[in-house]
Amino acid sequence: MATAPPLQPDLGAAKLPARALRGPERGAGWHLVALAIAMPALAVLLVVAAALLRPDGEVWAHLSAHVLPRASWNTLWLVLGVGLGVSVLGTGLAALVALCEFPGRAFFAWALLLPLAVPAYVLATVYIGLFDYAGPLQTLLREHLPGVPGIEVRNRWGVMAVLVLALYPYVYLVVRNALASQGARLMEVARLLGHRPGQAFRRAALPLALPWIGGGTLLAMMETLADFGAVAAFNYDTLTTAIYRTWYGLFSVSGALQIAAVLLLFVLALLALEQRARAGQRFVTLGAAPVQRRRLAPRGAWLATLICGLVWLLAFALPVSQLLLWALREIDSLDRRYWLLAANSLQLALGAALLLPALALTLSWAQRRAPSAAMGWLARLATLGYAMPGALLAVAFFAAAGTLLKVFPDLAGLLRGSILLLLTAYAVRFLAVAATPVNGAALRLKPSIEEAARNLGVSGFRLFLRVHLPLLRGGVLTAALLVFVDVMKEMPITLMTRPFGWDTLAVRIFEFTTEGQWQRAALPALAIVAVGLLPTYWLHRGSEHAPLS
Amino acid sequence: MRVLSRLSCCLAALLLTACGGKPGDAQLVVYTARAEHLIQPLLLRYTEETGIPIRFVTDKAGPLLARLAAEGEATQADVLITVDAGNLWQAAQQDLLQAIDSPILEANVPAHLRDPEDRWFGLSLRARTIIHSTERVDPEELNTYAGLADDRWRGRLCLRTSKEVYNQSLVATMIASGGETETETLVRGWVDNLAAPPFASDTQVIEAIAAGQCDLGLVNSYYLGRLQRQQPDLPVALFWPDQAAGERGVHVNVSGAGVTRHSPRPEAARAFIEWLSAGEAQRLFASLNLEYPVNPEVAPAPLVAAWGEFRADDINLSTAGELQAAAVRLMDRAGYH
């Protein structure tokens, strides 16, 4: 919700006759539902906020003098750079694939999603391995051109490039769906009004895709804030590395939580600003005519193929080939256990991919039924976990859960060995990922459909099930896909919260990387990509063919 | 909507099947920050020999300690195994470990490699030492850790990031033996000599030296061992610093274990750690990761022995924990990132 506001009550919705039927007590009910969904996140945020009450003066004095200025500056650069990069790359690719026809378009439409399945820390390690001084590329250069100076890739631009390649699919996926369902129609209208294609895109399709571009970009920026794996591989100091340094090096968990609290306040402000910027805008879907993509002239068409191919190569084919080469050396260690690990990963990811979109849908629905300022804040707080470094979130979650279990010891027996806790923690971490596409889709529900349905005597839950849910299908499937791949890749929360016997592929990667054995980690990393491929394809098909209303 | 209801059924089934499976009494539960492939062969062997099944979870040391603290008396964990003395010290400091009264452990583990109050015991030893190019560095030029700050190494040194706990422990023990001011000057000297920004791993440091990006660095010896298994003729070699009389000796660290404060089975936990400290188990514990056994009776793996003998610093490793935060602050001030 972070990214997609509820329809404001003062924008005409209240004039609908159906709304008049809604009593105040009904609104209270919806507020309770939203509160229940946000509760785990609120508990975690409470633990974080509570740390602010016990400031550790000595640690703070040191951090603010020697660590935070540099870390904040680096973080600012990285978040802005990645934000700009993913919005341009993601939107550009989405526009090509959704609005134009060129050789290979059908392949790229889903292939450009595949980098979603490659964890950012894997991409970072592969890129450093390939392109740093000791890597094959520079070694070859030196052999053939003696005297060439070494090029340092472990810097701000390197880590920015890697994160853009890893995170652009968030923007791509969300914007592509938005453009595919309405962009082409708008383009047509703009063309009829005499605009050239480029103009038509800039003046008609782009402005109307802005909420989706903003939503996807915000997701990527939050993920960047929380990222530890990629920045650690580049040894690029951000607020996240400062958090871990404070925790592991200075042994101050409370100091770490305090940095996180300040970080989250900024994110909250950012979310509120974004919402305010969009307040007053309304979006409804146009008619459901089949989308007619524009056939590009030969030169333009091949350029489009080249661009898509290059991105796909850099973000997916190259790193996966490197993983394959590494994995082949370790192929002996591929044993039956991998089936179990893959099955665990799959179950957890599927469980979350069912649960989280359902939560996001309910929350979005609650916002629609009972819009209020309190509701808006609940929805925003519930998604804040996505901007928090995973391991710290795990600790805060564990502390909150530990307190709960001490108060209700009977619950402990029930929860011990169950993955319920783990799924709850995933919900705290990834609700933003589910909420962005769901809210994006909900933005375009037409009030007139609701009216028509009510006139036909369909209302309440049946209205939702029969009318809204089918219309929201595309958004829900996108949410499920994003949650699925994110949970497959998730490491710190799984490590800390999993019951005995619930080792996953990501846990297997951890076992090797914690010892610096990157090549041995290639096999489980590849398995994550492989397990992620099928659902990515399936959900892609589902979301591309979703009814557009 | 049939799909939806079917999916919700799946979800419910998933949640229910995942319940249950409480560990019984006749088994041990281990929390380990030492990676699975370095510890599981030992656990399997212990079960084979004693019939006691062991369950374990792996994670980083920081989250494991936080988990133990949050679980409190309700924890199922009996044994905590973690790398680095700083982490062990921190676990003891947070009162997450209990003292072990064991003559066997006292005999097998040298005094400086265990907690003075017997709450943790080192089980394998890792040496953090100088590595240098055999093509561009004459070992005669090398002497001490402090010597790496010398002007002659300007633009020739590679280091791993100061976020790595091994570097934090090294600097902590340097503070203990040389004092804070002197150590800070020295670390600034290291930073001035860097040929490239600090690396994320020891392996990258070794590869950078082999590729010619720099000429020498600091690494844990087993990282070289792993690379040597794949590429036996890497043009690099280890050098043991601070060996002259009156010098501190090579900095060593441990991975080790302790019995958790609220262990449901403290006796069984003690017996397990005792078993790890001697004989074949002790040899395996070290050699799985090409480290040195802590038990002087047990010989290291042949590849490890080939690096030659050295005199290790015998400062008690709890010092590394006590001074770790000071070391981190010092490295921040010195601009060692």
Nearest one of B253, B296, B276 to B102, comparing CA atoms: B276
Query: What chain B residue is nearest to A470 in terms of C-alpha separation?
Result: B1
> From the centroid of its chain, how far is CA B110?
17
Residue-wise burial string across A440-455, b where 16 or more C-beta atoms lie within 10 A, e elsewhere: bbbbbbebebbeebbe
**Chain A residues within an 8 Å CB radius of B37:** 511-512
Terminal alpha carbon distance of chain B = 55
Which carries the bigger pLDDT value, residue A188 or residue B267?
A: B267
Q: How far is B315 from chain A (nearest CA, A)?
A: 20
Look at residue A487 and tell me whether its pLDDT is greater than 90: yes
Q: How far apart are CA A66 and CA B85, in angstroms?
A: 26
Q: Following DSSP, what letter does each residue of A101-161 receive, concatenated?
A: E-TTHHHHHHHTTGGGGS-HHHHHHHHHHHHSTTSHHHHHHHHHSTTPPP---SSHHHHHH
**For the residues A73-88, what does the mean pLDDT come to?**
96
Contact A235 B36 (CB under 8 A): no
List, in sequence order, the alpha helices (H) in A370-418.
373-382, 390-407, 409-415
Query: What chain A residue is nearest to B328 in terms of C-alpha separation?
Result: A249
**Residue A25 banded pLDDT, cuts 50, 70, 90:** low
Instruction: Note whether B96 and B65 are within 8 A (CB).
Output: yes
Instruction: Note whether A3 and A438 are within 8 A (CB).
Output: no
pLDDT in tens, A239-260: 999 999 999 999 888 899 999 9
Instruction: Note whether A424 and B15 are within 8 A (CB).
Output: no
Contact A245 B223 (CB under 8 A): no
Nearest one of A109, A107, A101 to A295, comparing CA atoms: A101
Q: How far apart are CA B294 and CA B109, in angstroms?
A: 6
The secondary element (H helix, E strand) that includes residue A217 is: helix A206-226
Give the three-class secondary structure for A367. Answer: helix
Q: Which of A73, A248, A250, A414 to mutate to test the interface with B (most CBs of B within 10 A)?
A: A248
The answer to whether residue B243 neighbours chain A at the CB level (below 8 Å) is: no
Which carries the bigger pLDDT value, residue A311 or residue A274?
A: A311
Query: What chain A residue is nearest to B58 in terms of C-alpha separation?
Result: A495
**For the residues A361-388, what does the mean pLDDT come to?**
91
Nearest one of A505, A490, A480, A478 to A110, comparing CA atoms: A478
pLDDT in tens, A401-430: 888 877 887 777 667 668 898 999 999 999
Contact A507 B58 (CB under 8 A): yes
Nearest one of B79, B132, B139 to B270, comparing CA atoms: B79
Which carries the bigger pLDDT value, residue B13 or residue A116?
A: A116
What ipTM was reported for this prediction? 0.88
**Residue A17 banded pLDDT, cuts 50, 70, 90:** very low
> Which residues face B129 on adjacent strands?
B219
Give the three-class secondary structure for B140. Answer: helix
**Chain B residues within an 8 Å CB radius of A469:** 1, 4
Instruction: Note whether A454 and A423 are within 8 A (CB).
Output: no
Nearest one of A218, A277, A285, A268 to A442, comparing CA atoms: A285
Look at residue A200 and tell me whether its pLDDT is greater than 90: no
Instruction: Note whether A93 and A112 are within 8 A (CB).
Output: yes
Q: How far apart are CA A101 and CA A94, in angstroms?
A: 12
**The amino acid at A470:** P
**Residues across chain B:** 337
**For the residues A324-332, what does the mean pLDDT come to?**
88
Domain B26-125+252-300 identical in fold to domain B127-251+320-333: yes
Contact B15 A418 (CB under 8 A): yes
B 166-195 residues inside an 8 A Cβ radius of A: 168
Q: How far apart are CA B70 and CA B93, in angstroms?
A: 15
Give every CB contact of residue B172 below 8 A, 6+ residues apart in sequence.
Answer: B86, B319, B320, B321, B322, B323, B324, B326, B327
Give the three-class secondary structure for A355. Answer: helix
pLDDT, residue A210, reads 87
Give the three-class secondary structure for B194. Answer: strand
Contact A417 B70 (CB under 8 A): no
pLDDT, residue A333, reads 78
Query: What chain A residue is nearest to B323 in terms of C-alpha separation?
Result: A250
The answer to whether residue B1 neighbours chain A at the CB level (below 8 Å) is: yes
Query: What chain A residue is nearest to B6 in terms of C-alpha separation?
Result: A354
**Chain B residues within an 8 Å CB radius of A425:** none
Contact B168 A511 (CB under 8 A): no
Q: Which of A10-24, A112-126, B77-91, B316-330 has the lowest mean pLDDT?
A: A10-24
Question: So where are chain B's domains?
Answer: 26-125+252-300, 127-251+320-333
| Ranges A104-118, A210-224, B66-80, B236-250, most confident | B236-250
Q: How far apart are CA A117 and CA B5, in angstroms?
A: 28
Q: Following DSSP, what letter does each residue of A438-471 receive, concatenated?
A: HHHHHTT--HHHHHHHHHTT--HHHHIIIIIHHH
Q: How far apart are CA B17 and CA B101, in angstroms?
A: 42
B128 backbone dihedrals φ, ψ, rounded to 5°:
-100, 115
pLDDT in tens, A133-149: 999 999 999 988 887 78
Spelled out in words, what is the top-level CATH class assigned to the domain B127-251+320-333?
alpha beta
Nearest one of B327, B171, B211 to A134, comparing CA atoms: B211
CB atoms within 10 A of CB A333: 14
| Ranges A375-384, A469-478, B208-217, most confident | B208-217
pLDDT, residue A280, reads 61
Q: How far is A402 from chain B (nearest CA, A)?
A: 6
Count residue pairs from A and B with Cβ separation < 8 A. Answer: 160
Query: What chain B residue is nearest to A399 in terms of C-alpha separation?
Result: B70
**Residue A549 banded pLDDT, cuts 50, 70, 90:** very low
Q: How far apart are CA A438 and CA A475, in angstroms?
A: 5
The answer to whether residue B134 neighbours chain A at the CB level (below 8 Å) is: no
**The amino acid at A543:** S
Contact B19 A354 (CB under 8 A): no
**Chain B residues within an 8 Å CB radius of A328:** none
Give the three-class secondary structure for A281. Answer: coil
Q: Which of A14-28, A207-221, B49-63 has the lowest mean pLDDT?
A: A14-28
Instruction: Note whether A531 and A345 are within 8 A (CB).
Output: yes
Q: How far apart are CA B57 and CA A502, in angstroms?
A: 9
Query: What chain A residue is nearest to B2 in terms of C-alpha separation?
Result: A465
B 81-120 residues inside an 8 A Cβ radius of A: 90, 93
pLDDT, residue A499, reads 87
pLDDT in tens, A423-449: 999 999 999 999 999 988 887 777 777
The yes or no reply on domain A9-19+69-279+286-544 and CATH 1.10.3720.10 is yes
Place of tokens 């910027």: A277
Which carries the bigger pLDDT value, residue A548 or residue A346?
A: A346
**Residues across chain A:** 549
Contact A133 B211 (CB under 8 A): yes
Contact B163 A405 (CB under 8 A): no
Q: Which of B8, B32, B59 to mutate to test the interface with A (most CBs of A within 10 A)?
A: B59
**For the residues A52-77, what does the mean pLDDT come to?**
91
**The amino acid at A538:** W
CB nearest B37 (choices: A155, A395, A511):
A511
The answer to whether residue B303 neighbours chain A at the CB level (below 8 Å) is: no
Q: Which of A137, A138, A235, A418 to mutate to test the interface with B (most CBs of B within 10 A)?
A: A235
Contact B200 A234 (CB under 8 A): yes
Query: What chain B residue is nearest to A401 in terms of C-alpha separation?
Result: B70
Which carries the bigger pLDDT value, residue A248 or residue A20?
A: A248
Flag residues of chain B having pLDDT under 50. 1-4, 7, 9-24
Contact B197 A235 (CB under 8 A): yes
Please tell me what DSSP assigns to residue A376.
H
Spelled out in words, what is the top-level CATH class assigned to the domain B26-125+252-300?
alpha beta
pLDDT, residue B116, reads 96
Give every CB contact of residue B171 below 8 A, 6+ residues apart in sequence.
Answer: B162, B183, B187, B327, B330, B331
Instruction: Note whether A466 and A458 are within 8 A (CB).
Output: yes
Terminal alpha carbon distance of chain A = 22
pLDDT, residue A24, reads 52
Nearest one of A496, A351, A492 to B18, comparing CA atoms: A351
Q: How far apart are CA A548 and CA B51, in angstroms?
A: 62
B 39-58 residues inside an 8 A Cβ radius of A: 55, 57-58
Contact A248 B61 (CB under 8 A): yes
Q: How far is B197 from chain A (nearest CA, A)?
A: 8
Averaged pLDDT of chain A: 85
